[in-house]
Amino acid sequence: METSIEWCSTTGPNGETYPGYTFSPWWGCMKVSPACKHCYAETFAERFSPGLWGPAATTQRKTASAGYWKQPLYWNLKASRLETRLKVFCASMADVFEQHKQLPVLRERLWNLITITPNLDWLLLTKRPENVLEMIPETWRGALPANVWVGTSVESQGYANERIPHLLKVPARVLFLSCEPLQGHVDLTRLIREERGIAYVDDCLTGFKAHGQGGWYGPKINWVIAGGESGRDASPSHPQWFRSLRDQCKTAGVPFFFKQWGEYLVYTPDKENKENRTAQLTLSKPENYFDGRIWFENEPEAHAVRMGKHGAGNLLDGKKYLEMPV
């Protein structure tokens, strides 16, 4: 279905903007990290098909209808007619690379669908990048089709260190990160990884360069998406976390996409951020309005205004960052 997710949009040859699509060939998953705590997909699924979230051994996954599986064929024709590429976020209601007995046959069906829709760029976002090489077709392991982008979720430094090295082993044309909901400071220029008992400090934005240990270049991250958490039980994200990612990407020449503040607009009460706050606090106060001080561990004092996703917006220091890979 057509989606309003900002990073799924595409700019056409004449500068026009086309929305992208979400495609969920099946529903259901299992939570694997703190960022899953307030999973929007689980909340949505509970309204229509409860009981799809949980361990693979005891929980079923729900397969989409035959008609739903045909939709990307129409999107592919539309992209051809428009003479532009359209993005498909797959799968917003599941994780393509989850280990579950129902999924091998469905993944094979998905790989076939991706192959016959070359005008669509398929964005596969996973919290299980260690499974990607094992689960893609053997013929893809040297190089994935050009229309397959692979990303992983990174909500904290610990998960950056854990997941990004696995992602960098995937031979995809575009490798991307979704730092959303961001839950702490993340330094992508100093990833800690261990290989054969040796600890390395790497920079995944400039080509996986090992600091002070000979220096070698390999795959790198091509795109970083960042955002805060939305929803009733959301937690705020400190502005310094987003600024740091923005600045790291700028230095490395990597596109940075700031999707949203989330439920809270968070700002530091100083002159630098005055423009940002003034530009965004233009709506009338909603009923759940909260304006007060919030303390983050190892971070300076900040103020938070609970305005909801649309009210908080996506201005970072008074500017929008909606960069995408070419």
Whether residue 277 has pLDDT greater than 70: no
Cα separation, 307 vs 326, in Å, equals: 33
Which amino acid belongs to residue 171? P
The first and second tokens of residue 122, run together, are 């398929």
Mean pLDDT estimate for the chain: 87
Query: Half-sphere exposure of residue 180, counting CA atoms within 13 Å on the CB side?
Result: 23
- Kindly state the greatest CA–CA separation across the chain: 57
The first and second tokens of residue 254, run together, are 């990597």
Average pLDDT for 102-112: 97
The first and second tokens of residue 109, run together, are 């069906």
Query: Half-sphere exposure of residue 154, counting CA atoms within 13 Å on the CB side?
Result: 31
β-sheet bridge partners, residue 21? 2, 88
pLDDT in tens, 18-67: 999 999 999 998 888 887 877 777 777 678 788 888 888 899 999 999 99
pLDDT of residue 211: 62
The three-state DSSP-derived secondary structure of 124-186 is EEECCHHHHHHHCCHHHCCCCCCCEEEEEECCCHHHHHHHHHHHCCCCCCEEEEEECCCCCCC
Which of the two residues, 56 and 267, has the higher pLDDT score? 56
Average pLDDT for 267-293: 52
**Host H or E run for residue 200:** strand 198-203
The pTM of this model reads 0.90
The first and second tokens of residue 233, run together, are 């039980």
Q: Which domains does the chain have, with CATH numbers?
A: 6-262 (3.20.20)
pLDDT in tens, 72-84: 999 999 999 999 9
Across 28-42, 181-195, 229-243, least confident range? 28-42
Whether residue 278 has pLDDT greater than 80: no
Hey, what's the torsion of the CAs at 151, 309, 258, 319, to 10 degrees?
170
β-sheet bridge partners, residue 291? 305
Which amino acid belongs to residue 9? S
Whether residue 215 has pLDDT greater than 70: no
